[in-house]
A and B are shown apart, each in its own frame.
Chain A
Amino acid sequence: SQQGEEDPQALSIQEGENATMNCSYKTSINNLQWYRQNSGRGLVHLILIRSNEREKHSGRLRVTLDTSKKSSSLLITASRAADTASYFCATDPPKSWSGGGADGLTFGKGTHLIIQP
């Protein structure tokens, strides 16, 4: 079953604008990760934020995590045409559930982002 739900399902913005995508999940997590998928490069890891972190930056990306609300957001600043892709949030189970071994990811359905030139 899907753990994460991305919102919106689709987003179209002009090049240079900022894009914000949200993710909500249902159960406790160890980490939350964001991935990008396009036809040219497959599924690519963007950023990992641990459950005890609240915010993380990587280049033009900013991720926040609110474990009390079970939600995360991904902000892409100064968007470029090359950012056009589907973006997925993915969670892994807390170590107390898995005995520390199982960390297969549960993905949402994704947000399809289109950057208009």
Chain B
Amino acid sequence: EAGVAQSPRYKIIEKRQSVAFWCNPISGHATLYWYQQILGQGPKLLIQFQNNGVVDDSQLPKDRFSAERLKGVDSTLKIQPAKLEDSAVYLCASGPGTGYEQYFGPGTRLTVT
């Protein structure tokens, strides 16, 4: 079974530029999550989708971050404009439903200079 796919794996941008990350979840998984992991810390939830609807985006900095999940499958996370403190690994995860384990992708390492 294929795992969660993410691209790109690495991205370096200058502050105030914009960037987008892509995630393809495990086939059939209804829930999709985006997490931000800053070096030395545990992942922090940014947004959760159930199919193509947002379930929880309470921790998403909506002035600069946006995410969508079209057709309830792939998802994109965008940052515009980026700040230095956005440097982190962005992890996408999917799950068969709420209350189950989550399967994480390899992440996208973002460096903002």
Contact = CB atoms under 8 A, between A and B. Distances in A.
A104 B104 CA distance: 13
A25 interface: no
Given A30-B99, A102-B55, A103-B48, A110 B42 contact: yes
B21 interface: no
Nearest to B97: A103
Interface string A90-117: 1010010010111111111110000000
Q: Interface range on chain B: under 10, 10 to 19, 20 to 34, or 35 or more?
A: 20 to 34
A101 B42 contact: no
Given A101-B98, A102-B56, A104-B56, A42 B43 contact: no
B45 A105 contact: yes
B85 interface: no
B40 A109 contact: yes
Contact of A104 (B33, B41, B103): B33
Nearest to A35: B104
B25 interface: no
Contacts of B55: 101-102, 104
A106 B101 CA distance: 13
A43 interface: yes
Interface in B81-109: 91, 93, 98-107
A56 interface: no
B50 interface: yes
Contacts of A95: 99
Nearest to B46: A104
Nearest to A112: B40
Nearest to A47: B101
A102 to B, nearest CB: 4
B62 interface: no
B64 interface: no
Interface of B: 31, 33, 35, 40-45, 48, 50, 55-56, 91, 93, 98-107
Given A44-B104, A105-B43, 5 more contacts: A45-B104, A48-B100, A102-B55, A104-B55, A105-B102
